[in-house]
Structure 1
Amino acid sequence: MLSSVREQWFSNIRGDLLAGLVVGLALIPEAIAFSIIAGVDPKVGLYASFCIAVVISFFGGRQAMISAATGAMALLMATLVREHGLEYLLAATILTGVIQILAGYLKLAKLMRFVSKSVVTGFVNALAILIFMAQIPELLNVTWHVYAFVSLGLAIIYLFPLLPRLGKILPSPLVCIIVITLLSVVIGVDVRTVGDMGSLPDTLPIFLIPNIPINIETLFIILPYSFALAAVGLLESMMTATIIDEMTNTPSDKYRECKGQGIANITSGFMGGMAGCAMIGQSMINVKSGGLTRLSTFSAGIFLLVLVVFISDWLSVIPMAALVAVMIMVSISTFNWNSIIHLKKNPKSSSIVMFSTVLVVVATHNLALGVLTGVLLSALFLANKLENDIKVSMSYEGAARLYNLKGQIFFSSSDSFFNFFDFEENVNEVIIDLTQSHIWDITSVAMLDSVVNKFEKNGTTVTVRGLNEASSIMIDKYSTRVRTE
């Protein structure tokens, strides 16, 4: 027990604390921006990011993954806030958490098995593009100083790690933020800062119960939003966990993560915060800055709160250009460049799925819709491939006509199999050999029943053989015509 706690919390203390500080700094402008998108006071997003990061560090199923207020969630709650106000948002956030906990116990994370590698790649590339696009407003209609700071910041981020000793001690994103801030203060350049994003809270969050009527009408108002928030939050969290799994070559507990997200959102709602989920950008910053354990996620939340509440005067002078440089680095490192380099080698269907996922996510800013598009296309391509792989060979076994079926028999391929049979041939007996086939659904059974029925109407005896155990169960349960041997 103690060894597990030590490994999950205290095996990388220096790296985790420094990474947490970098993430805490980067979370602040994003939390403020997401609050603005949702139509609430900046402190709602900041409190949410603090609460969710701290709680998920204890209850989450993926070490070193950062969860906080996110843009995808903020977009979903804007209408609720506009029509009903903040109190209803807090209630919806709590209900979102309850739904996510139920999803964890129901093990709905299994649905991730239907998300192909091409969809995950498209998801990652789309997020990289969105992260970069989110920085563009900070680079428009600005003075040359901003471009100089961003360029210098990127140079520090990529060159500092090359230094023999210091490069391994301090994370380059943190060095970037410190150097750019000091340079800005010393020179006295008038550039946009974190303080210009909105007012920062000066008090700690407190426990509160949403002031709303507790009745069926209220439930019907918040339930659709809560379901949408829970679905998008879990989808983004599961996708991010999968990506961090691959980056760190370590496993995660997706069921625990679902429950952890729920507990975190319930806590956020009772502490005056909005709903949130895992953040791929901040998680990438954390891992690339040296964060490996739960301590990095915990310290990110704690640093965020300390920074905004106790040293907001210092924090407010950080140029946005420094954070833009960090986020551009995240965008570049997040994008799966191999998916472009190996485009000609990859199957066309995989590339179409990947590009479709990217296009839908970037066009709609709706991660769930993009992933759903990718999953549906993957299913269609798979069905088409299985349908094209079917083969039927015909021969004689004595006086009987033998049909040897090869391939997967399911709703999409049933018609193709049916068309292979010659019902006009003058034979007394037909044998259908399914040794190299598998029957998947009721549609397939119905197809075989139709084949048998049509042959028998012509006076031909039909025998089906070679069924595997699963196919036999389907035939025995649903067929009305098939005789097996």
Structure 2
Amino acid sequence: MSDIALLFRFRPRLLSTLRGYSRASLRDDTLAGLTVGIVALPLAMAFAIASGVSPQSGIFTAIIAGFIVSALGGTRVCIGGPTGAYIVILFGIVSKYGFTNLMLCTFMAGVLLVLMGMLRLGQVIKYFPMPLVIGFTNGIAVMIFFTQLKDFFGLQVAMPSGFFPTMATLRTHIQDFQPVTLALAGASLALILAWPKKLNKYLPSPFVALLTATVVAALFSLPVETIGSKFGGIPQGLPDFQPLHFDPASFSELLAPAFTIALLGAIESLLCAVAADQMIGDKHDSNQELIAQGIANMVVPFFGGIPATGAIARTGTNIQNGGRSPVAGIVHALLLLGVVLVAAPLAQYIPLAVLAAILIAVSLRMGDWNWREFSTYPWRDLVVMAVTFVLTVVFDLTIAVEIGLLLAAVFFIQRMAGASVIARLRPEHARLFERHSISGKTLPAGVAAFRVEGALFFGAADRLDALLAEADDAQIIILQLHRMVLLDATGLMAIGALNDKLAEEGRTLILCGAGGEAARRLTRAQPHMHMRDDNVQPDLVAAILRAEAVQAVQAEQPKAPLMAV
């Protein structure tokens, strides 16, 4: 029962941070939350529009998911909500399956995230090498950049999903750009990129650009497309409850996009948590964070929201402005709720061009283009990064991550196999450990000893085959395992096959030095490997004594055919 309780532990970080919570902490968290809310407002609308849905979907997501992630999550400072990483994926899902099925995919992804957290899979981020993460992050940044050029240039055309169709559409219609829209978008982008960092803490550049562009467009009646002209504005008030429509026939078809949403949500939320830990010197609960992210994504579809995850930029803003508990995230959600309840009608005047400029700025800052640092990477990591980047841009994130992980795994196996060595012990070898070193010891005639260094696994198990040829003059072979760091089932079977082969030839295999988990596996597998108990020794000294005893037995039977003992 205790194991089950541990497996399904549910401990929101908010509960522990509220112990000893002070007025000073409340003041700092409130100020940080208000600042994050100001940053989140334009981003939430921009992310939603770029994903092919209405701007209120992004705001409702930021409110609901932001509150749930902060209230139930496993971190102190992470902010949840819609993010730029989802744009390309969601736009493709909406284009192919429609908004109703996007809601269903979001709910299914939430269920998957909750299951991942309950099954203690929160450490999954450790199995994603950073070159792979950089590759798909840069790929997503490139796709965001190109998908925003339509509104940045004011093109009156429906944008398709996919890199090549997008590029073809842009190439065909780029000459139809609107000069006023381009000027407004260009000025907004310049303002965002040039805004002083000192002022950014108090007046975030996206909000300043949004406010300035809206006032200018309204004051001078600029002929630009706005949220009001395209979406009819943002409804004032709380979102209506919208039941999901589940179609069993389409379940299998929607499982793949739901898995993509869950995978990206898990990766980005855990990356966000790790980054936050480094900024404030904390340690998050990754499984609790996944559960909270899952619950948030299960709830938002019922109110017209889109997928949410940990937002690294907003989390950084929270930390920089003094936020140190989940209360800041809750305040940010409440501020956005207040905006919807009070100032929603004003959103109709916001130009789409400024939202495109905000997202282009996000894409430029989202990618990692440190070429000097990349030049120091091993070539295998560069290949993983490049392949993941290209596949993310040309195909989609799921294929990119699958192929990238497979490629990284193959390269890792090659490196592990290359680092695994089976070397013959000779008297000139330097002393490493008294009991295991060949130094100071004499091998009896007809005895050869080999040391396994590294991993004896499926990628290196064939190295044992070379022993038969190299030690064809030895009647007894000692295999020293004290420097073996990994032994898998293939390695066990390879040792068993070597023992059987030597036995057929009337020769003997003696193992020694195995420790830890390898020793326990050898003990359990001995009957299946046909190894005698006394042919498994603790160290080289004992193995040599065993070899001498075997030779003594063989010497007493000179007329009988040689047989393994």
Match of 1:452 in 2: 499
1:267 to partner: Cα distance:
2.2
- Residues 1:337 and 1:211: Cα distance change in structure 2 (over 3 Å): closer
| Structure 2 contact 461–494 (Cα < 8 Å) conserved | yes
Find the counterpart in structure 2 of residue 391 from structure 1. 421
Shift of the 32–7 alpha-carbon distance from structure 1 to 2, 3 Å rule, reads: farther
Give the Cα separation in 1 of the matches to 2:469 and 2:82: 63
- How far apart are residue 442 of structure 1 and its match? 0.9
Match of 1:407 in 2: 454
Q: In the alignment, is residue 185 of structure 1 matched against residue 218 of structure 2?
A: yes
Q: Tell me if the contact between 2:180 and 2:222 (Cα under 8 Å) persists in the aligned partners.
A: yes
Is 2:117–2:287's contact at 8 Å kept on the other side of the alignment? Answer: yes
Are 1:204 and 2:238 matched, yes or no? Answer: yes
1:73–1:204 Cα change, 3 Å = farther
Candidates 129, 132, 151, aligned match of 1:116: 129
1:358 aligns with 2:374: no
- Where 1:467 maps in the other structure, the secondary structure is coil
Q: Is the 8 A contact 1:24 1:303 kept in 2?
A: no
Which has the higher relative contact order, 1 or 2, with Cα contacts under 8 A spaced 6 or more apart?
1
Map Cα deviations across residues 139-162 of structure 1 (whole Å, 9 max, x no partner). Answer: 344333333333433333344326
**TM-superposition CA deviations, 1:338-377 (whole Å, max 9, x none):** 3x222222111111122222222222232x4323333222
Q: 1:148 aligns with which of 178, 183, 192?
A: 183
Range with bigger deviation, 47-56 or 377-386? 47-56
Counterpart residue identity of residue 65, structure 1: I
Q: Deviations over 1:38-81 (max 9, x none)?
A: xxx66555534432222222122342433237436635754895
Q: Deviations over 1:285-304 (max 9, x none)?
A: 76788877545544554454
Q: 1:413 deviation in Å?
A: 0.7
Query: Take 2:271 and 2:255, find their aligned partners in 1: how far apart are those partners?
Result: 24
Inter-partner Cα distance in structure 2 for 1:288 and 1:331: 21
Who is 1:268 aligned against? 300
Deviations 1:209-231, CA, capped at 9 Å, x for gaps: 44669xx8797787676555434
**Deviation string for 1:406-437 (max 9, x for gaps)?**
22110011113323432772322111112222
Pair 1:208–1:136, CA change in 2 (3 A): closer
Distance in 2, Cα, partners of 1:282 & 1:212: 34
Structure 2 residue aligned with 1:335: 367
Higher Rg: 2
Paired with 2:449 and 2:355, the residues of 1 have a C-alpha distance of: 71
> Root-mean-square deviation (CA), in Å?
3.4
1:170 is aligned to 203
Q: Does 1:381 align with 2:408?
A: no
Structure 2: which amino acid aligns with 1:74?
A: L
Alignment of 1:196-345 (within 5 A): 196-199=229-232, 200-207=234-241, 209-210=243-244, 229-246=261-278, 250-279=282-311, 294=326, 297-308=329-340, 310-338=342-370, 340-345=371-376
| Counterpart residue number, 1:160 | 195
Alpha carbons of structure 1 residues 253 and 145: separation in structure 2 relative to 1, 3 Å: farther
**Are residues 1:55 and 2:68 paired?**
yes
1:484 aligns with 2:536: yes
Q: CA deviation at 1:459?
A: 1.5
Distance in 1 (CA, whole Å) between partners of 2:510 and 2:127 is: 36
Q: What's the offset of the Cα at 1:116?
A: 1.6
Aligned pairs, how many?
472
Change (3 A) 1:229 1:325: closer
Give yes or no for contact 1:34–1:45 (8 Å, CA) kept in 2.
no
TM-score by length of 1: 0.84
Change in Cα spacing, 1:337 to 1:59, as seen in structure 2 (3 Å) is same
Q: Is 1:149–1:322's contact at 8 Å kept on the other side of the alignment?
A: yes
Structure 1 segments unaligned to the other structure (5+ residues): none
Task: Give yes or no for the alignment of 1:67 onto 2:81.
Answer: yes
- The structural deviation recorded for 1:8 is 7.5
